[in-house]
Every structure is written in structure tokens, then in C-alpha cells.
Amino acid sequence: MKLVSKVKVKNRMGLHTRPATTIVKLLQGSKCDVTITHKKETINAKSILSILMLAAGQNSRITIMVDGEEDIATDTMDKLLSVFENKFGE
């Protein structure tokens, strides 16, 4: 099952090292394929370097796609949306 959500990067510094690390740790061991798209560039969300290379600053709009089994994909997407909504604890 493919799930797609568009989110706004709300934290002040954008997707810097700490948020990128949070995303990668959240996805560690996940059986889903997760990609993030920003400005026509799509990356593997399980790679910290790829996330950093997006250079998505505050108020950037990104697209998250989760592909996997229905329950796992839904849970993964919910967790990702939650960390974005909570500004990665900043």
C-alpha cells in the first residue's frame, strides 16, 4: 500500500542533523520503503546524508511516500507526521 502526505517543515532550522537523525532512527528496522521529495528531488528517507542534501529549510513543503504492508505503512506514516508536527522536539 502506498501512502502519500505533504507536510510543511515547521522547525526553525529545517531538516538539519537532529531532525534527519530522528527520521532515520524512526525508520530503522522498518519494512516499508520511505521516500521524501523536495523541489523535484526524491531521496531514500532512511539515509541521513540524503535527507541533509535536500536542504529543506523552515516552511519548505515536502512530500513523504510510504510503501509497504497496510498496517505497517499507516503506522510509519503516522509516526513521521507526528515528528514533523511536533517540530522534532525543538
- Residues whose CB is less than 8 angstroms from the CB of residue 53 and which lie 6 or more positions away in sequence, other chains included: 43
What is the CATH code of the structural domain delimited by 2-89?
3.30.1340.10
Which spans in 1-90 are helix H? Answer: 17-27, 48-53, 70-85
pLDDT at 90: 80
Instruction: State the catalytic residue, choosing from 10, 16, 79, 87.
Output: 16
Annotated catalytic residue 16: yes
Digit-by-digit pLDDT tens for the chain (90 residues) are 999 999 999 999 999 999 999 999 999 989 999 999 999 999 999 999 999 999 999 999 999 999 999 999 999 999 999 999 999 888
